[in-house]
Amino acid sequence: MITVHNLTKTYGDKTVLNIDHLEIPKGQSFGLVGNNGAGKTTLFSLLLDLIQPSSGHIINNEVQVDQSEAWKPFTSAFIDESFLIGYLTPEEYFYFIGELRGRNKADVDALLANFDDFFHGEILNQKKYLRDLSKGNQKKVGIVASFIGNPEVVILDEPFANLDPTTQIRLKGIIKDLAAKEGVTVLVSSHDLIHVTEVCQRIVVLNKGEIVKDLLTSAETMKELEAFFAG
C-alpha cells in the first residue's frame, strides 16, 4: 500500500529522517515508536505532503505523494489540533469532513452511532465549540473524524496521549478492528510501548531519523523494545 524510497529530510546540515526503504502492505496495523526527535511526525508529515522530502519519495497506493494529490480521497489523518476547526461544534466538524469525503449527514450520523461508547457522552450535543473542549475530547473528535468516508489509509500521531484509560482501551479495540475487519492500513505512532505492541502487527523503531528495528509483533517484542529503549 505504502512504499518509501530513499527518503531523506534535512534541515540545514541536520538530517532528521533517512529511510532507504520501507514497505507497508495493505491492511497492516503499523506502529512507529521512537524517542523525541526520532522523526515520527516528520515521516507522517511527509506522508501527507505537508513538508517536502529533501530526496526520495513516498508512493501511496501507486500515487507519488509529492507529485499528485490523488492520494487524498483514500487517506485520512489526525496529527494534532491543527487538524481541528476550533470554531465549529463537533457535529459541524464531522459533517464538514463528511461533505469533503462525499458522505451526507445520514452517513456521518450512522458512523458516529458506532462511537457512542468512545465519546462517553462528552462530545455530541454539548453546546461547545471544539476550541472549548478539553484536550482529550478534542483528540477523540479528531480521531473519529479520520474514520469518516471509509479511508484505506489512516494515520494517527500519538493517538493514545491525553486520553483517559477507558478511552485508550476502546481506541485499541477500534484500531485493531479497522485493520483486521476492514482491511484499512493504520499507521500509529506512540511513546507507549505497551499500547503499540498490543495494537500493531508490526512495529518499526526510529532513532535519529533511521530505522533501527523492524519487528513483527510477537510475545518477545515487548522485551526487545524495552531492551532497546533502556539503552
Partner 1 sequence: MLKHFIGLQWKSFFRSATFKTEIWFKILMALGALYFIAMFLGMGVGAYFIIEEMGIGDPLRVINRFMIYYLAFDLVFRYMLQKMPVTNIKPLLYLPISKSKVVHFSLGKTAISFFNVAHAFFFVPFSIVLIAQGYPALQVVGWHLAMMALLYCNNFINVMVNNQNVVFYVLAALFILAGASQYYQWFDITFYTQPIFDFFYDMSWTAIIPWVILAGLYYGAFAYFKKHMYLDGGLAKKHTEAKTENLEWLDRFGNLGTFLKNDIKLIKRNKRSRSAVIAGFFFIFYGLLFFTNAIEVYDGPFWKIFAGIFVTGGFLFSFGQYVPSWDSSYYPLMMSQNIKYREYLSSKWYLVIIATVISTFLATFYLYFGWEAYAAVLVGAIYNIGINSYLVLWGGAYVKTPIELTSNKKAFGDKQAFNAKTLLLTLPKLVLPIIIYAIGHFLINPIAGYIFVAVFGILGFAFKNRVFTMIEGIYKKEKYKTLQAYKQK
Decide whether 55 or 166 has the Cβ nearer to partner 1: 55
Among 6, 26, 68, 87, binds partner 1 (CB under 8 A): 87
Please tell me the distance from the alpha carbon of residue 94 to that of residue 208, in angstroms, as a whole number: 36
**Residues between 17 and 76 that touch partner 1 (CB under 8 A):** 48-52, 69, 72-73, 75-76
Residue 53 is placed in which grid cell?
522530502
Residue written as cell 515520527? 40
Among 9, 40, 101, 140, binds partner 1 (CB under 8 A): 101
84 binds partner 1 (CB under 8 A): yes
Report how many residues bind partner 1 under the rule CB under 8 A: 36
The residue behind cell 491525553 is 162
x-or-dash string of contact with partner 1, 149-188, rule CB under 8 A: x---------------------------------------
- CA-nearest of 51, 77, 47 to 60 is 47
**C-alpha torsion sign, points 112, 149, 185, 130:** negative
CB of 223 to partner 1, least distance (A): 36
Cell numbers 463528511 correspond to 98
In the region spanning residues 117 to 156, those forming contacts with partner 1, defined by CB under 8 A, are: 126-129, 131-132, 149
Of residues 135 and 223, the one with the C-beta less far from partner 1: 135
Phi/psi for 4 (5° steps) reads -110, 130
Strands 29-33 and 185-190, bridge-based pairing: parallel
Give, as one character, the DSSP assignment of residue 85: -
Contacts with partner 1, residue ranges (CB under 8 A): 48-52, 69, 72-73, 75-77, 79-80, 82-89, 91-92, 96-97, 99-102, 126-129, 131-132, 149
